[in-house]
């Protein structure tokens, strides 16, 4: 099987590079940056990509590859830190930049004959994220593109098929980045483009069976896209070795518990254990207002309930989770990765250790849209596969302040209106996410001839490709008006509706 190998030097964008390669219908493998060249050679890569990273190549403890990778004969593409590594290993020079480059830049291609830039405009926008710069080219290399602050924005040694980019072609803020990577994969590396999601399934099934063997596996099933697709994939690989445990934490959307039991227990015939622990979760959350404490309490309580439920399974050795790549990135502490920790995530970290189970995460290298493709390929119904994302801690992170039964009822009813109207209008499946948030703000209103003093609902409607960035959606005024009127008229305890028009970044998609 043709494949590209990515050496990971700690960039938060490594999996984004992998995703772009998969979009070229070429398989790729990600390996640690210090993987021995002999081990990489056994993978028979058609090309190597050196990822970005947070370090400086001249720093004493900078992550460095096995020098033997440069003698394997496979084409090499260095991205940002990867470009600087090429220079460092091949006797170029990298120094702290006099002007740092972060954010948008203007790329000008100086040599359109460079195969990386076939079909790419002479000038285009790129995305930079670096403080160091290449100040002396290695022997045999030449500059083929520049930016305002970098005369070596793209370099090549065409004879050795070695290329370097100072910018990030993998992110959406580099519009021509996909073409650049496709040129490397197809034009320079000679890959065909026959890999599909079906190939991913075959590989994932083999990997799951190899990892699990004859042992039992348990999965916490929420009914959301991620856990549903993970359940379907694991069931395909393991059959009756899999047991799904559905914990009703009392923080679910309207009619969620009934739907999950119907679809998975009765329709798909997956062994399903149902645990109603809603009262316990609400008791633990009483008086808690800090969002991180909420998440930790929910995570800890979930583990406790989950542990009790495993007694019905026997002696499982593995815990499966529907963790996606954005979940991992937003949950990694700064000390271990350049991706600053944005939020805790009760599906990441801690759970396997406390439960003494080995972890299976078959979706951890995928983004949400890829998981949807996988779900359709596995035969899941479109209505389930294209459900909008829902946070693991549930409605608790959409209630600012204390979580109570009465506030949950208000938010659950308001959220139902939003979902119903978005589906009725046809907007639900066009965008990434739409939901209601209950604010700890009460204001004066008038209903009939009476004065009210009730809560405020904020509408959050965003579009995104992968959840890493998002922009607010400009819904028709008529739809916003309908949702606002229905929420105020039908949801007792609400007299005001607002619209959140902030993007991510600087805001997050969820409010907590």
Confidence of residue 100 (pLDDT cuts 50, 70, 90): low
68-72, 246-250, 353-357, range with the lowest pLDDT: 353-357
Judge whether residue 333 has pLDDT over 60. no
Residue 137 in contact with residue 146, Cβ under 8 Å?
no
Do both 434 and 472 map to the same domain? yes
Q: State how far the alpha carbon of 157 is from the alpha carbons of 81, 152, 204, in Å.
A: 17, 13, 37
Residues contacting residue 266 through CB under 8 Å, at least 6 positions apart = none
* Average confidence (pLDDT) over 455-464: 96
Residue 508 domain-assigned?
A: no
Tell whether the model's pLDDT for residue 15 goes beyond 80: yes
323, 351, 385: which is the final residue of a domain? 385
Across residues 292-308, what is the average pLDDT? 91
Q: List Cα–Cα distances, 415 to 31, 226, 430, 460, 481, in angstroms.
A: 42, 20, 18, 11, 15
CATH of the domain at 423: 3.30.300.10
Average pLDDT across the chain, whole number:
88
pLDDT band at 419 (very low <50, low <70, confident <90, very high): very high
Q: Looking at the structure, do residues 12 and 52 belong to the same domain, yes or no?
A: yes
One domain, residues 431 and 486: yes
- Answer whether the bond into residue 505 is a cis peptide, omega within 30°: yes
* pLDDT surpassing 70 at residue 340: no
Region 10-25: mean pLDDT is: 89
Residue 451 belongs to some domain of the structure? yes
Residue 331 pLDDT greater than 60, yes or no: no
Buried b / exposed e across 417-432, counting CB within 10 Å, b at 16+? bbbebbeeeebbeebb
Share of the chain above pLDDT 70, in %: 92
Structurally, the chain folds into a number of domains equal to 3
Helices (H), 90-224: 177-182, 197-212
* Amino acid 352: pLDDT: 47
CATH number, position 269: 3.40.50.620
Same domain flag for 143 and 105: yes
Residues 357 and 431 occupy one common structural domain:
no
Are 317 and 257 found together in one domain? yes
List, for residues 28-59, the tens digit of each pLDDT value. Answer: 888 889 999 999 999 999 999 999 988 888 88
The verdict on 300 and 432 lying in the same domain is no
Weakest mean pLDDT among 27-41, 194-208, 303-317, 402-416: 303-317
217 and 319 in contact (C-beta within 8 Å)?
Answer: yes
Whether residue 178 is contained in a domain is answered as: yes
pLDDT at 146 exceeding the cut of 90:
yes
Reported as a single tens digit per residue, the pLDDT across 62-84 is: 899 999 999 999 999 999 999 99
Judge whether 298 lies within some domain.
Answer: yes
**Across 108-122, 320-334, 498-512, least confident range:** 320-334
Residue 234 has pLDDT above 90, yes or no: yes
Residue 487 is assigned to a structural domain of this protein: yes
489 versus 447: which is more confidently predicted?
Answer: 489
CATH number of the domain at 68, please: 3.40.50.880
Last residue of a domain, one of 188, 222, 245: 188
Expressed as residue numbers, the domain containing 436 is: 404-500
Spatial distance between the Cα atoms of 19 and 170, rounded to a whole number of angstroms: 9
pLDDT category of residue 421 using cuts at 50, 70 and 90:
very high
Task: State residue 186's pLDDT score.
Answer: 97
Q: Is residue 390 part of a domain?
A: no
The answer to whether residues 156 and 275 belong to one domain is no
* Residue 110 belongs to some domain of the structure: yes
- The residues carrying an active-site annotation are 80, 168, 170
Asked whether residue 215 falls in the same domain as residue 359, the answer is yes
Across 332-360, average pLDDT: 51
pLDDT for the residue numbered 341: 42
What mean pLDDT is predicted for residues 254-269? 79
Checking if the pLDDT of 492 tops 90, the result is yes
248 and 317 together in one domain: yes
**Which has the closest alpha carbon to 313: 230, 220, 262, 244?**
244
Asked if residue 416 and residue 268 are part of one domain, the reply reads no
Residue 343 lies in a domain: yes
Quote the CA–CA distance of 167 and 428 in Å, as a whole number. 35
Tokens matching residue 424 = 């009725």
Q: Two tokens at 182? A: 């496709």
Cα dist from 119 to 68, 112, 178, whole Å: 33, 9, 11
Residue from 332, 372, 15, 338 nearest 171 by CA: 15
Q: Are residues 227 and 334 both part of a single domain?
A: yes
C-alpha dist (Å) from residue 510 to 12, 304, 407, 459: 20, 26, 17, 11
Looking at 145, 166, 188, the residue that finishes a domain is 188
């Amino acid at each position: 099987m043709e494949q590209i190998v990515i050496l990971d030097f700690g960039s938060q964008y490594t999996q984004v590079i992998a995703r772009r390669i998969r979009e070229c219908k070429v398989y790729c493998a990600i390996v640690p940056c210090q993987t021995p060249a002999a081990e990489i050679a056994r993978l028979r890569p058609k090309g190597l990509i050196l990822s970005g990273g947070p370090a400086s190549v001249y720093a004493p403890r900078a992550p460095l590859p096995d020098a033997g990778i440069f003698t394997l004969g496979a084409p090499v593409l260095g991205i940002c830190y990867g470009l600087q590594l090429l220079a460092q290993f091949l006797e170029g020079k990298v120094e702290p930049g006099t002007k740092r480059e972060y954010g948008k830049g203007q790329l000008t291609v100086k040599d359109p004959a460079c195969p990386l830039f076939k079909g790419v405009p002479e000038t285009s926008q790129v995305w930079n994220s670096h403080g160091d710069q290449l100040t002396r080219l290695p022997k045999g290399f030449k500059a083929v593109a520049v930016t305002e602050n970098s005369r070596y924005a793209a370099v090549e040694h065409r004879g050795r098929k070695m290329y370097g980019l100072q910018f990030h072609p993998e992110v959406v803020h580099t519009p021509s980045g996909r073409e650049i990577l496709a040129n490397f994969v197809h034009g320079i590396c000679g890959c065909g483009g026959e890999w599909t999601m079906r190939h991913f399934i075959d590989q994932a099934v083999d990997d799951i069976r190899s990892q699990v063997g004859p042992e039992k596996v348990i999965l916490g099933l929420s009914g959301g896209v991620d856990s549903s697709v993970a359940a379907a994939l694991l069931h395909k690989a393991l059959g009756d070795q899999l047991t799904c445990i559905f914990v009703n934490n009392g923080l679910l959307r309207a009619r969620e518990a009934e739907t999950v039991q119907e679809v998975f227990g009765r329709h798909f015939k997956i062994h399903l254990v149902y645990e109603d622990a809603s009262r316990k979760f609400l008791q633990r959350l009483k008086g808690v207002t800090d969002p991180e404490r909420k998440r930790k309490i929910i995570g800890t309580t979930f583990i406790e309930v989950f542990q009790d439920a495993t007694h019905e399974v026997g002696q499982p050795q593995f815990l499966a989770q529907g963790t996606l790549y954005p979940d991992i990135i937003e949950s990694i502490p700064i000390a271990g990765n350049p991706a600053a920790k944005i939020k805790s995530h009760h599906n990441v970290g801690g759970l396997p250790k406390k439960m003494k189970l080995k972890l299976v995460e078959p979706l951890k290298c995928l983004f949400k849209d890829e998981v949807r493709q996988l779900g359709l390929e596995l035969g899941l119904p479109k209505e389930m596969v294209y459900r909008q994302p829902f946070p693991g801690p549930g409605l608790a992170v959409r209630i600012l302040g204390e979580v109570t039964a009465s506030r949950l009822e208000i938010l659950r009813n308001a959220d139902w209106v939003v979902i119903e109207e978005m589906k009725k209008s046809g907007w639900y499946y066009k965008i990434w996410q739409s939901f209601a948030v209950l604010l700890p703000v009460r204001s004066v209103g008038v209903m009939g001839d009476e004065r009210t003093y009730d809560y405020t609902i904020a509408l959050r409607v965003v579009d995104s490709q992968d959840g890493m960035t998002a922009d607010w959606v400009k819904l028709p005024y008529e739809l916003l008006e309908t949702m606002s009127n229905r929420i105020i008229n039908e949801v007792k305890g609400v007299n005001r509706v607002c619209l959140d028009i902030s993007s991510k970044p600087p805001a997050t998609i969820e409010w907590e």
